[in-house]
A and B are shown apart, each in its own frame.
Chain A
Amino acid sequence: MQTLVSFLLILFLIAAFLRVDFFFTILYLFCGVYLLSRMWVRHVVDRVRVRRCFTDHAFSGDQVTVEVALHNTGWLPAPWLQVGETLPVALITPPFHREVLSLGRHGKRSLSYTLHCRHRGYYPIGPLRLQTGDLLGIGHQGQVEVAPDHLTVYPYVVPMQELGLPTCSPLVALPARSPLFEDPARIMGVRDYQRGDSPRRIHWTATASAGRLLVKRYQPAIARETLVCLDLDRDDYERRRRYTATELAIVVAASIANHVVVRERLPVGLATEAWDPLLEESARFFLPPRPERAHLMSLLEVLARVQVTLATPFADLLRRESANLPWGATLTVITGCESDPLFDTLVYLRRAGFAVALILVRPERPSSELQARADLLGVPVHRVWREQDLETWR
């Protein structure tokens, strides 16, 4: 405060000229007010600790309560603290939480607010700005900024029927038509004994029950892995519907992955190239197929935060990532447009021994030409476009 400094100078001159001792006490009083206010504000700024407590992962539709705990670790009280938390508009309206409070010495206080996870994403919770100052308006202000934490909201997972997709997952005729191996851990039924069957295949309890010799039928052990290939290249979606289409594509990918792991108990992986807000750059994601639920969660986490980007052509991504898959694996290709390079890649993948399913996320039905070519290749083509459903799920 300029006025105070000017007054101090004048006061000093008056006191020195008039030589009244008490005026120096007044001078000390104002100097003390100025300096101790400053020290107090600094002390408060240095000693206030802030901690956010909340569940940092949530499903769409959940409500997350965030608790902000403030602790004054100093021996001086914090007379006033203006707390301002910046929040994502997709989670709360208005997109901030502001409060003014006071903390005594070693005082604690917590604020809480609820976030509505209406939409998948990777959201910064914060930064939190803590502003304080002196009591007399001398002009000292202190500010503390607490770095943001992040909340991951998983995408919607909906039943396959709601997406209009067949439930005989993973979208192609599996179990495979040409089983090369059989998995003795997966019994799919029994049949009558035939000459040449190994005695180890005899199902003794069923035989005893039926009164005739029965052998176990195993599920084929051809590669049962499914890789969800998600196209998030900005140019592959029509501009007007880009947001809806990509969000729907992500919901489709999450739902398929969930279906494969939870219902089918089969391994699923993810391949995509997208903008990652965590890294703040475009990144290639390849999560190799695995059947565990924990893996599903990490897959959903990636799907929660990816955004469209200007990526390398999707066909190249398919070719590159298929190299990591075993023969006979299934690729579920989710994209927004059909193109010759994409179809050529599908042909390549089929010839390489992969099962392929194509899911187009767009309002138009696949062209008859594409359908015919896909039929010829044995690639099932599905179309998903139920925009109203996307809204309903939210």
Chain B
Amino acid sequence: MNRDPCRPHPGPPPSERGRENVFRPLVVGVMFGCIAVSAVGLVRLFFPAWNGTFLVVGCVLAALEANYSYRLIRARHLWGTDRLRFRAIELALFFVLLKIGGYVGDPWTDVLADVQTWPRYPHRVVDPETAGAFVLAFLSWQAATETAHDFQLLGQPPETLRYYVSPGERLAKRFFQGGAVLLVITGVHRIGIESLLDLRRPSVHGLVLADRNPNVLIYFLLGLVMLGQVHFTRLRQQWRSQEITMIEGLAGRWVRYSLAFIGLVALLAFLLPTGYTVGLLDAVARAVSLVGGVLWFILMLLMLPLAWLLWVVLALLSRLFGGPPPARPDLGVPELPQQAEALGAAPGWFEVLRSLVFWAVALGMVVYVIRTYLRDHPEVLEALTSRGPIRALRRLLSALWRRLVGLATVVGERLPRRLSLRRARSEPREARFRFFRLGALAPRERILYYYLSVLRRAGQQGIPRGRSQTPYEYDGTLGPRLTQAEQEMRRLTEAFVEARYSRHPFDRERDRQVRTLWQRVKAALRALKQED
């Protein structure tokens, strides 16, 4: 169907427009407001009487205005000087509004008195309070403008630049950076500047919700909802560009599922342990100490009867020889270490256990996430391990590992062979009865045994192998004597050399063949003995 060129483009549906024009700016504004709340709280550490509400409102309004002005500039195609003029007026208005906001709550007389001083002292217009508020509001405005720009670019085909970062990633990065800043500010605000470097301070318990400032939680929950919307927008743009049909109500479902998912995860997160009294290293040290103490306790318990026995023997001896009686061993049950420590100021074992569980959960989660991420993205792992020092360390470790594996393999193969050979060699010398079961040997060992048995028998008949003779040389000596089994002797020698010096496995069939050769050679040796 051809579209009428004069007809305007229908544009997105009303729900989508509402989401873009109302929901998103509002969420972004509130998120910036959350950061501003913490910033105000931090400032109030230094100026407790300062009322920074206007700054919070200013940051929210700046974020909302940034979104509106961005759209307006795009709609009116303002470029160059016009745009600069527009921006300048915008910022001037911000300043004026923040200045007015700074007077909120002051008596009119004070305000008028301050205003009357401006003609004489113009620099008083830009007081530190207004300047600081302006800087914060400007940062909020700037970040909100960039956010609006990234939202606009969502779903567009990626550029082929080397260091290109997609708008979705930029938005997520901004969210996480803001979150990190918010956490630092909030944390400093909660623990205070003076105790910041005190590593022995107790942990701050309780939820932020309980502090009537749930800005941290709101920021992260809204951020997650926003991430979901960003992802949906990106996918939707992608599907539209590929002309893929979407079912009705997908956007609504997306919001519902996102909210349910985030709510569920938040609930789980609140259920997990967060409090700890013992630091990570302390907890590990205490755990090691606990294990050591328990082992010591068991050892003491085991030693107690021995000590008693020893004491009884010593007591008897002292009576016999008239010496002083030995000191009686302590009959009390040895104390567990925690019983001793519980009396002191150190935390109880329950606290240590609780801290251990907490550290295990927290560290386990982080490590698992990193491990999963690296498994899903092997290229990142490769990039990490390809760095100079890590690569050298990796090579060193892998070389060491290869050496160890090789050594273990060689030892595993050679040791049984050496042992069996030594056993076989020592057999005629020892000449003592030893229960021997040929069937219990491995095929390789049996083949060795067959040959060594022939050597022993031939030696008994006066044809011993010289110490310097190789198996083939000895075959040259013995073979011509065994006229009925010269070939068999030759093949038995070959089988022995193969079994002695090769690494490949021997099967039962090969063993059976060599056994036949051995029996023939034995028969030939018997015949030779009878002839003699």
Residues of A within 8 A of B (CB): 1-12, 14-16, 18-38, 40, 77, 79-80, 82, 98-102, 134-137, 139-140
CB proximity of A393 to chain B, nearest CB, Å: 31
B362 in contact with A12 (CB, 8 Å): yes
Q: Quick check: A14 and B183 within 8 Å, CB to CB?
A: yes
B371 CB, nearest partner CB in chain A, Å = 10
With A14-B187, A23-B187, A135-B261 in contact, do A99 and B244 touch (Cβ < 8 Å)? yes
Q: List B contacts of A27 (CB < 8 A).
A: 362, 365-366
A102 touches B247 (CB 8 A): yes
Q: List 28 A-B contacts (CB under 8 A).
A: A1-B172, A4-B176, A6-B176, A7-B179, A9-B366, A9-B370, A18-B190, A21-B203, A22-B274, A23-B187, A25-B270, A27-B366, A28-B362, A29-B220, A29-B265, A35-B372, A36-B261, A36-B264, A79-B257, A82-B244, A99-B245, A99-B246, A99-B247, A100-B244, A102-B247, A136-B224, A137-B168, A137-B234
Write the nearest CB–CB distance from A151 to chain B, whole angstroms: 23
Give Cα A16 to B203, complex, Å: 9
Question: B242 an interface residue at 8 Å Cβ cutoff?
Answer: yes
- B187–A26 contact, CB under 8 A? no
Contact B191 A18 (CB under 8 A): yes
Note all chain A residues with C-beta closer than 8 A to B191.
18-20
Tell me whether B250 and A102 are in contact (CB under 8 A).
yes
A8: B residues at CB distance < 8 A: 366, 369-370
* Chain A residues with CB below 8 A from B261, complex form: 33, 36-37, 40, 135-136
B269 interface contact, C-beta 8 A: yes
Q: CA–CA, A52 to B232, complex, Å?
A: 29
Q: Does B467 contact A (CB under 8 A)?
A: no
Determine whether the beta carbon of A33 is less than 8 Å from that of B176. no
Instruction: Determine the distance from Cα of A100 to Cα of B251 in the docked complex, in whole angstroms.
Output: 12
CA distance A11 to B275 in the complex (A): 16
Whether the pair A25, B274 counts as a contact (CB closer than 8 A) is yes
From B246, B250, B261, B266, name the one whose CB has the most chain A CB atoms within 10 angstroms. Answer: B261
Among the stretches B87-95, B204-212, B296-304, the one at the interface with A is B204-212
Set B203, B272, B373: member contacting A28, Cβ < 8 A: B272
With an 8 A cutoff between CB atoms, is B331 at the interface? Answer: no
Instruction: Mark out the residues of chain B between 174 and 200 whose CB falls within 8 Å of any chain A CB in the assembled complex.
Output: 176, 179-180, 183-184, 186-188, 190-191
- Chain B nearest CB from A55 CB (Å) reads 24
Evaluate contact between B184 and A135: CB separation under 8 angstroms: no
Contact of B228 among A21, A101, A135 (CB under 8 A): A135
Besides A9-B370, A29-B266, A37-B261, 11 more A-B contacts (Cβ < 8 Å) are: A3-B172, A11-B183, A20-B187, A20-B191, A21-B206, A22-B208, A28-B274, A30-B220, A79-B257, A101-B250, A137-B172
- Residues of A near B208 (CB, < 8 A) are 22
Those of B238-291 within 8 Å (CB) of chain A: 239, 242-247, 250, 253-254, 257-258, 261-262, 264-266, 268-270, 272, 274-275, 280
Give min CB distance, A83 to chain B, whole Å: 9
Residues in A whose Cβ lies below 8 Å from that of B206: 21-22
Question: Which residues in A have their C-beta under 8 angstroms from that of B136?
Answer: none
- State how many angstroms separate the Cβ of A203 from the closest Cβ of chain B: 70
Chain B positions 471 through 491: 1 when the CB is less than 8 Å from some CB of chain A, otherwise 0: 000000000000000000000
Per the bound structure, the CA–CA distance linking A10 and B369 in Å amounts to 13
Report if B525 contacts A (CB, 8 A): no
Do B187 and A102 touch across chains, with their CB atoms under 8 A apart? no
B272 touches A2 (CB 8 A): no
- In the bound complex, residues from chain A placing their C-beta under 8 Å from that of B275 are 21
> 5 closest pairs, A vs B, by CB?
A137-B231, A18-B187, A28-B269, A19-B203, A7-B176
* Cβ-based interface call for B202 (8 A): yes
Q: Choose among A1, A14, A18, A38 the residue with the greatest number of B CB atoms under 10 Å from its CB.
A: A18
Who on chain A is nearest to B207 by CB? Answer: A22
Provide the bound-state CA to CA distance between A177 and B185, in Å. 109
B368-411 Cβ-contact flags toward A at 8 Å (1 or 0): 11101100110010000000000000000000000000000000
If A136-B227, A137-B168 touch, does A26 touch B220 (CB 8 Å cutoff)? Answer: yes
Please tell me if the beta carbons of A3 and B176 are within 8 angstroms of each other in the complex.
yes
Say whether B201 faces chain A, with CB atoms less than 8 Å apart: yes
Complex-state Cα separation, A30 to B265, whole angstroms: 8
A35 to chain B, nearest CB (A): 7
Select B369's contact among A14, A24, A31, beta carbons within 8 Å. A31
A37 surroundings in chain B (CB, below 8 A): 261
* Chain A: CB-nearest residue to B280: A16
A8 to B247, CA, bound (A): 35
Write the chain A residue with the least CB distance to B373.
Answer: A5
Q: Which of B186, B235, B253, B265 contacts A102 (CB 8 A)?
A: B253
The answer to whether A21 touches B224, judged by C-beta atoms less than 8 angstroms apart, is no
A80 contacts B365, CB within 8 Å?
no
A18 to B280, CA, bound (A): 14
Cβ-defined partner of B365 (8 Å) among A22, A35, A40, A101: A35
Is A80 touching B265 in the complex (CB atoms < 8 A)? no
**Bound: A356/B170 CA distance, A:** 78
A38 neighbours in B (Cβ, 8 Å): 372
B274, A137: Cβ atoms closer than 8 Å: no
The reply to whether B183 and A34 form a contact with Cβ atoms under 8 Å apart is no
Asked if B60 CB lies within 8 Å of chain A CBs, one says no
> Which B residues are CB-close (under 8 A) to A135?
228, 231-232, 254, 257-258, 261
- Alpha-carbon distance A80/B224, docked complex (angstroms): 18
**B169 at the A/B interface (Cβ < 8 Å)?**
yes
Q: Given the complex, which residues of B lie within 8 Å of A15, measured CB to CB?
A: 183
Say yes or no: B250 contacts A80, CB within 8 Å. Answer: yes
Does B510 count as interface, using CB distance less than 8 angstroms? no
B216 is an interface residue with CB less than 8 A from chain A: yes
Query: A20-B190, A35-B368 are contacts. A79–B254 as well, Cβ < 8 Å?
Result: yes
A19→B201 contact, CB < 8 A: yes
Flag whether B230 is at the interface (Cβ < 8 A): yes
By the criterion CB–CB under 8 Å, are B365 and A31 in contact?
A: yes
* Distance between Cα atoms of A35 and B232 in the complex (Å): 20
CA distance A19 to B355 in the complex (A): 13
In the complex where A8-B369, A80-B254, A98-B244 touch, is A18 in contact with B180 (Cβ < 8 A)?
no
Whether B207 pairs with A25 at a CB distance below 8 angstroms is yes
Is B184 a contact of A14 with CB atoms below 8 Å?
yes
Given contacts A29-B266, A80-B250, A102-B250, contact A14 B216 (CB under 8 A): no
- Most chain A Cβ neighbours within 10 Å, of B216, B231, B366, B369: B369
| A25 to B205 alpha-carbon distance, docked (Å) | 11
